[in-house]
């Protein structure tokens, strides 16, 4: 089980990427003021940097230490380890639901899946870590579409920007996986190299 910590405290330690509540102007201004009045810290050791990156990935995707370790181990069998790890994280069902805009946050997406609101290829799936594949169709269950959970967020869902590797019909609450997500190290907020270094020490 992933231990929940205050969003701002996590964002301050691991970076704003870990939660949407930390990706606001209010948070940025607050952090700028705090840094101005705080003594400058020394450079992180290699271990400290690797641990920080590993924790950033864990809390962003809401996964356990055991799950991340398994993803890393499996990804090391691939020629492109970084791309494979990124794919495993992004193709989790809860990640797909969040990226499609059906859920406002990763924790909300995980709960949405666990409570049986999501189907994959017409079959209800209640496992957040379920690995979605290219060609799969992820949809909010017909019985769930009329629930306040989705009706009250209709405008927010309609404005969601889904990644290019999925095709989303925000009105019908359907997402089709067109291709595998492509890892771009230049735009990535994660240092996967440091994550692999942490687990292969």
Contact 165/178 with Cβ under 8 angstroms? yes
Element (H, E) at 10: helix 7-14
* Residues found in the chain: 201
CATH of the domain spanning 45-91+186-201: 1.10.1050.10
Residue 151 or residue 40, greater confidence: 151
Nearest to 97 by CA among 47, 65, 139, 127: 139
Q: Would you list the DSSP string of 91-151?
A: TBHHHHHHHTTSSSSHHHHHHHHHTT-EEETTEE---TT-B--TT-EEEE-TTTTTSHHHH
Beta bridge mates, 145? none
Cα–Cα distance between 145 and 141 in angstroms, integer?
A: 6
Q: What residue segments make up the domains of the chain, in order of their start? A: 1-35, 45-91+186-201, 92-177
Residue 9 pLDDT more than 80?
no
pLDDT digits (tens, 9 = 90+) for 117-139: 999 999 999 999 999 999 999 99
Q: What does the DSSP assignment read for 22-85?
A: GSSHHHHHHHHHHHHHSPPPPPPPHHHHHHHHHHHHHHHHT--HHHHHHHHHHHTTSSSHHHHH
CA end-to-end distance (rounded Å), the chain: 24
Which tokens sit at 11?
Answer: 């964002």
Was domain 92-177 assigned CATH 3.10.290.10? yes
Tokens of 118: 């999501």
Mean pLDDT of the chain: 87
pLDDT tens per residue across span 42-69: 678 999 999 999 999 999 999 999 999 9
- 26-45 confidence digits (pLDDT tens): 545 555 565 556 555 567 89
Global pTM value? 0.81
């Amino acid at each position: 089980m992933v231990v929940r910590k205050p969003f701002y405290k996590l964002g301050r330690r691991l970076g704003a990427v870990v939660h949407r509540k930390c990706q606001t102007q209010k948070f940025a201004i607050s952090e700028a003021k705090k840094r101005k009045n705080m003594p400058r810290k020394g450079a992180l050791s290699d271990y400290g940097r690797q641990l920080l990156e590993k924790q950033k990935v864990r809390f962003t995707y809401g996964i356990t230490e055991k799950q991340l370790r398994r993803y890393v181990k499996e990804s090391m069998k691939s020629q492109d380890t970084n791309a494979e790890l990124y794919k495993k994280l992004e193709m989790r069902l809860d990640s797909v639901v969040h990226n499609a805009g059906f859920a406002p946050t990763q924790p909300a997406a995980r709960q949405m899946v666990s409570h049986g609101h999501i189907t994959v290829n017409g079959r209800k799936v209640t496992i957040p870590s379920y690995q979605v594949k290219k060609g799969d169709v992820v949809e909010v269950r017909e019985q769930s579409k009329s629930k306040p959970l989705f009706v009250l967020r209709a405008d927010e869902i309609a404005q969601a920007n889904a990644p290019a590797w999925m095709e989303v019909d925000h009105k019908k609450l359907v997402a089709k996986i067109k291709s595998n997500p492509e890892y771009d190290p230049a735009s990535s907020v994660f240092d996967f190299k440091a994550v692999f270094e942490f687990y292969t020490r």
